[in-house]
Each structure stands twice: as structure tokens, then as C-alpha cells.
Chains A and B, each alone.
Chain A
Amino acid sequence: MRLRSRLRGLVALAAVIPVVALPASAGATTLFGSGSSAEQPILNVLFKAYNKLHHNVRFNYLPDGGNAGVTDVQAGRRLFSVNTRAPLPSDAGTTYFKLWLDGLCIAVNPQNSVSNLTIAQTKDIFTGVFTNWSQPGGSNLSSTIDPFGRNSSAGLYTFFQQAVLGGATQSSNVAQETSDGLVATNVSKDPNAIGYIGLANSGKGSGVKRLSINGIACSQTEIKSETYPLFRYAWGVYPTNHPSTAVEKFFDWVRKSKQAGQIINRGGAVAAFNNK
């Protein structure tokens, strides 16, 4: 009998706990999003800063790639997505909203003396036409080129494919890494390496050397003035029909507010529309 009454007590307790816990979490909304993994570091800081201003708004972000993120929004699985390529006809049902600017840098190991490449030379390297560092010229090395890149599920690869390769697929000798950070790590460790990395992951502490493309450096000023050829916008994506007002307010804050602009600049991207 003692055991049974104890059991009854436990069951009663278990039923009470969710009732007590419910009011505590009521009022907090979690906004579910997905998309680009290259922009995730900046997004995480933005989420935290917005949460400090609006305590009842929390975010849950899945970095499954820009293309997958758009499909998530179209299917109604996510409230918003962040993508790094311009809208295509296949993105029907979604609205694209410019958030900030980002650049695609071509980076080599610091031991490599090459400092400038044309887009045509970069395309030749990543399509397997140039296989040795003596071919593009400007390098102190005469060893085989080790190209590093992303696999076909990454939004950064789609951007690189359109902007540099002109729609061609990258050669099979490009090692396919699953994230921006891994490409940067591999390029920083291999003297013969070259890779395409987002602006955020190729900064001073990453151990890679950014190249200038067509004579223009991959830096914040060049990207903001849109003179650097490999720039792109980070787009916020939300459904055209019945978008969430919380998401729209967040995107407005990201695009216009001074605090968000500081976060974006500090994160290695370029604030395009924010108040100073």
C-alpha cells in the first residue's frame, strides 16, 4: 500500500509539473529558420543581440545550406531563411529582402607569393586547366596546385559556380569540404593550396592570404562600393503569403539599425543599408 500511494503521489507530481511550467514559457516565441552556413556566425550574434532587446523572441537556426533553406520556407517548414544568392524563378512563393553584403574571397596559403589573379585564371585553376603554380604566373612555387572547395549542396558553391566558373562544374580534383571553416583550415595548412572562402572566414586570424581579383582587393571597402567582382548580398527569405510579423520586424532591425550594422561589420561582412 505504501508503494502504491507513493506511486500515486509521483504520478500526481508528474501531471502538475507541465501545468506549472507552461505559464513560465508562455509569451516566448521561437522563430525557426534555416539556410546559409557561411552567414551563420554573424546570424548567431544578431540573434543574441535581438533577444537582449526583445526578451520574448528566441531563434532556432539550422544551417543546412542556402538552397535547402529556401525549399524549407516554400514547404512551410521554416518561418524564414537566409540565402546568399539572388532569387531564381524556382523560388516562387518567397520574398527576398536584402540584409547585408558579403564577399567571396579566393585565398591561398601565406607561403605562396601570388597576390592577384584574374577571374579567367581562377576559373582555369578550379576547372583543372591549370595544374601547376608556374602556369598562372606570379607565384614563387612550381608545385602542383591543391584546390579546395565545397560540395554541391553549399550555397557558396552555387555562387562560385555562377560568378567564376560561368556555370561549369568544378573539376574533380577540388577537395570537397563540408564547411567554410574547414576550407580555411586546409588552405592554411597546405602551402600549395587555393580555396574559395567567405569574407568572414578568411580574415586576419584564419591563417590564409586573400587574393585580389582583377586587381581589386577582397576587403570591406571594395565590396561596399561594389567594385570587387565577387560580391553578393545576404538575403532574408520569408513566405510571400502570411509572413510572420516577428520575422519582418527582425529583418528590418538587421537591415536598418546601427547596432546590427556594427555586429555585421565586426563579423567580417559589410553593412550595406544600416544607419551609422
Chain B
Amino acid sequence: MDEEDFLEQSHGISQDQRAELWLGALVFVVVGVLLAMLAFVTYQAWPSFAHNGLAWFGPGGSIDQQITRIFTSGDLKQTPVYTFHAWPLIWSTILTTVGAISIAFVSSLFIAVFIVEFAPPWLRRVLEPVVRLLASVPSVIYGLAGVLVLVPFINNHLITQSEKASVTPIISLSGAGLLPAVVVLTVMISPIMIAVFVDGLRAVPRGWLEGSLALGVNRWRTFWKVGVRTVRPVLVAGTVLATARALGEAIMLLMVSGGVGFAPNPLDGPTFFFEPFRTLAATIIAFDDERSSPPMKHTLYAIAAVLLFSAAMLSFIGWAAKRPMRRYGVIA
């Protein structure tokens, strides 16, 4: 301790307290930025919601034609048109996200259990770095792989001529659609889920598992009934993380989804899996050039507001799902 520091302490606040104040100020800055972003997006999005009301979320008319009319009405001499019924986009987002998450959750859980408990050490040493590497691959590379390999494969080998003829000229089944999008999205979010699940499963207290084994329960049952049950909060956290990534995925989906504002219809039978669509985030990217037209700008911000709101709801659901788990002394 130097002479000057000693003198300073007796005058005002200490170094510790200064550090506290700085960090507290940073927290306020972060929260402030978040609130400012929310306020800005909502303010820009308001005209679109005000003109459409709740019908913004409903079906009605061809959304691509509505977008063109909104964009061309941005000329200063015309009255702006805001009519927008985003149901095809919302439905496509729900389909891809729910589809990818459900497949990814089941497979990631099994893979994580295998990596932590049942894999031989040499295999574990190979699998873990590979999974973490896959989690850090940029999503546009997955999109490229989808466009160059998966989409032509589906087009040439899985779609029959009769299926193509049955939907033309409303849409064209050219390989890009629900199936490659869900497959690529699943492959993209699984590594995140696996990494989170593995970390959680590793943190299960060893004593609990050994106690169960000592009572004569076999390895498989022990791990599922004791280990996996303990880490339920981690499963929720991993799912929320992966869902947030899936919701915001835009560029990759734009490449493999066909880019048409169409709501895939499950009642179409097998054709349902090949129908093209466009999600909310992909629409923002596809029509970002048209941001110079004011009604289009407000519509794009409205879509962004919906995405922000879903992300917030996701966090809330994650928090709410973990609350009942606290009773059992689980690390929630």
C-alpha cells in the first residue's frame, strides 16, 4: 500500500467502491440500451399495427402482392398503403421452429447422455471438440450446403412429377421448402443444445448417481431417473437458447426455403413437406432493400417488433418453467 492510496482512502470512496459504481453504471447502460432499442422498434412499428389492428396477425390475400403494394405506395404523391396480413409468415416461422426444436431436443438429449455417460473415453475425446466446432460454424455455410447439396437432392429424388403437377401454378415444388429448411435448422441448433446439455449433465453430483447404483439400480435407469431428472432446468435453458437462434435464423432459411410468402398446408399430405415458404426474419432480409419507402419501413419494423416480443416471451417461458423445479433442491 502506497502513501497516496492511503491518503485517498481517508478522503472519499475506496477502489472497491469505485469498481462497484463503475460496474453498476455499466449495467444501467446495458439495460438502457435494451429499453431504448425496444422503444425505437415499437415507435417505428406503430403505424403498421395501427392501420391493421389484430388483422396484422391473420390471413388474407397474397402477402407478396401486399408487400409490393406497400412498397410502391411509398411515393410521396400517393397515400401510403399499410394492409398487411402476416399469417403465412407467422405460420411458417412456427412450423420451422417447432419442427426443428422437437427433433433437435430428442436427438440432442440422447447424444448428450451418450457423450457424458456411455461413450468410451477415446470416442468422448473426439466427439466433444467436434460438437463445439459445429456450434461455431456460421449459419450461411449451412445455407450453402443446403442449396448446393440438399435442395437438388430432394428435387431430383424425393419429389414426384405428379406432386409437382398437382400444385402448379400456385407454387412450384423445386426442392427448396419445409423439409430441407427443418433438416438444416435442426443440424444447426443441435450442437448448441448438446454442448449445454453435456455441461449440465457433468454437473450432476456424483454422490447421487453412486447412491442409486449402490441400491442396485442399473446404469441406464440411474442415469435417466436420477441424472436427467436433476438437470431439467438445464434442458429448459438449452431449449430456450436453441429456440432463440432458430427464431432469428434468416439468411440460411432464405436460401433453402424458396422465398415465397405461402403458408404450407398440412392437409396437402406428402406435398406439405416440400412446399416453399418464408419466415418472419427471412422476410426482413429479403425486403430490406425496400426500407427506403416509409410504409415498407414501418412494416419491416413491425415484423421486427413481433420477433423481439417472441424472444422476450421465450425468456419468460424459460424462467417460468424453471420455477417449479426449485422445490426439489435442483440447481434452477
Instruction: Give, as a whole number of angstroms, the nearest-CB distance from A123 to chain B.
Output: 13
Instruction: Indicate if the CB atoms of A175 and B258 lie closer than 8 Å.
Output: yes
Give the bracket for the number of chain A residues in contact with chain B: 35 or more
**Residues of B close to A214: CB separation below 8 A:** none
Instruction: Indicate if the CB atoms of A144 and B151 lie closer than 8 Å.
Output: no
B37-61 with Cβ < 8 A to chain A: none
Instruction: Indicate if the CB atoms of A175 and B286 lie closer than 8 Å.
Output: no
Q: A131-B169, A176-B259 are known contacts. Are A65 and B152 too (CB-CB below 8 A)?
A: no
A148 at interface (Cβ–Cβ under 8 A)? yes
Instruction: Indicate if the CB atoms of B165 and A144 lie closer than 8 Å.
Output: yes
B86 at interface (Cβ–Cβ under 8 A)? no
Contact indicator per residue, chain A 164-208, by CB within 8 Å of chain B (1) or not (0) = 000001011111111000100110011111000000000000000
A75 at interface (Cβ–Cβ under 8 A)? yes
Instruction: Give, as a whole number of angstroms, the nearest-CB distance from B179 to chain A.
Output: 15
Q: Please give the number of chain B residues whose Cβ is less than 8 angstroms from any Cβ of chain A in the complex.
A: 46
Instruction: Indicate if the CB atoms of A128 and B169 lie closer than 8 Å.
Output: yes
**Residues of B close to A2: CB separation below 8 A:** 2
**Residues of B close to A261: CB separation below 8 A:** none
Instruction: Indicate if the CB atoms of A75 and B292 lie closer than 8 Å.
Output: yes
B68 at interface (Cβ–Cβ under 8 A)? yes
Instruction: Indicate if the CB atoms of A169 and B68 lie closer than 8 Å.
Output: yes
Contact indicator per residue, chain B 122-138, by CB within 8 Å of chain A (1) or not (0) = 00000000000000000
**Residues of B close to A132: CB separation below 8 A:** 165, 168
Instruction: Indicate if the CB atoms of A175 and B152 lie closer than 8 Å.
Output: no
Instruction: Indicate if the CB atoms of A65 and B62 lie closer than 8 Å.
Output: no
Instruction: Indicate if the CB atoms of B255 and A182 lie closer than 8 Å.
Output: yes
Choose from B5, B156, B286, B291 the contact partner of A68 (Cβ within 8 Å).
B291
**Residues of A close to B291: CB separation below 8 A:** 68
B175 at interface (Cβ–Cβ under 8 A)? yes
Q: A64-B288, A189-B152 are known contacts. Are A172 and B176 too (CB-CB below 8 A)?
A: no
| Interface residues, chain B, with chain A CB atoms under 8 Å away | 2-5, 62, 64-65, 67-68, 71, 75, 147-148, 151-152, 155-156, 161, 164-165, 167-176, 254-255, 258-260, 262, 276, 285-293
| Interface residues, chain A, with chain B CB atoms under 8 Å away | 1-2, 4, 64-65, 67-68, 71-72, 75, 90, 128-129, 131-132, 143-148, 151-154, 169, 171-178, 182, 185-186, 189-193
